A and B are shown apart, each in its own frame.
Chain A
Amino acid sequence: AQSVTQLDSQVPVFEEAPVELRCNYSSSVSVYLFWYVQYPNQGLQLLLKYLSGSTLVKGINGFEAEFNKSQTSFHLRKPSVHISDTAEYFCAVIDFGNEKLTFGTGTRLTIIP
């Protein structure tokens, strides 16, 4: 069975500072990986995804993530955060041939002015 661990439930960061949100996954087969963002009182918006190819994936709003198969990680990074990045971030995994997304418990990113 697949699982996702987001070790940090909350991450406070000063505006214009860099940020890394950590995600580790567990699966017995090959996977696709995703990061979704959820702004207050809204649904989930896709930030970026890793399906195959280059392990460095670029997404919207200046975010990027790196797939590391040996570490089973897919950490999300942004070099300089903005107040508008305040949101909940969810890492998710889906096994090849499966249709079910498994989510982590989320990381709340708070930007300090």
Chain B
Amino acid sequence: ETGVTQSPTHLIKTRGQQVTLRCSSQSGHNTVSWYQQALGQGPQFIFQYYREEENGRGNFPPRFSGLQFPNYSSELNVNALELDDSALYLCASSFRGETQYFGPGTRLLVL
């Protein structure tokens, strides 16, 4: 059974640029959630996708957007990057309503 995978592992961008992060969910899972973990903090919920629809959103501005594809993989897009967007971005997959399993994360540095 393949676990949750994320790409890329690391990324460096400059302020104002746009970034796309990718997540492949665990086999059999139909829900993907995205979290932002700033240095020294716990993960914060960005949003969740279930069957290609957004299913809940945290306190993040609209420049954070996402997609879920028919194979349940997902993308997180961030436009107009700000310095404070530097963080570890975690993807978690689950079967709806059940335990979330996390990927290794993508570390984003905005200069």
A90 and B40 CA atoms in complex are apart in Å by 12
Residues of B within 8 A of A98 (CB): 56
Q: What total count of A-B pairs have CB within 8 Å?
A: 53
Scan B72-111; emit 1 where CB is below 8 A from any A CB, else 0: 0000000000000000001010001101111111000000
A25 on interface, CB distance cutoff 8 Å: no
A109 and B104 CA atoms in complex are apart in Å by 20
Within 36-57 of B, Cβ neighbours of A (below 8 Å) are at 41-45, 48, 50, 55-56
Residues of A within 8 A of B100 (CB): 101
Scan A82-106; emit 1 where CB is below 8 A from any B CB, else 0: 0000000010100000111111111
A11 on interface, CB distance cutoff 8 Å: no
Q: How far is the CB of B41 from chain A (nearest CB, A)?
A: 6
B31 on interface, CB distance cutoff 8 Å: yes
- The answer to whether B41 touches A43 (Cβ under 8 A) is no
A17 on interface, CB distance cutoff 8 Å: no
A99 and B92 CA atoms in complex are apart in Å by 11
A44 on interface, CB distance cutoff 8 Å: yes
Residues of A within 8 A of B43 (CB): 44, 90, 101, 103
Residues of B within 8 A of A105 (CB): 41-42
**Count of chain A residues with Cβ under 8 Å from any Cβ of B?**
20
A102 and B41 CA atoms in complex are apart in Å by 12
Residues of B within 8 A of A90 (CB): 42-43
B33 on interface, CB distance cutoff 8 Å: yes
Q: How far is the CB of A61 from chain B (nearest CB, A)?
A: 17
> Which residues of B come within 8 Å of A, CB atoms?
4, 6, 31, 33, 35, 41-45, 48, 50, 55-56, 58, 90, 92, 96-97, 99-105
> Which residues of A come within 8 Å of B, CB atoms?
4, 34, 36, 42-46, 49, 90, 92, 98-106
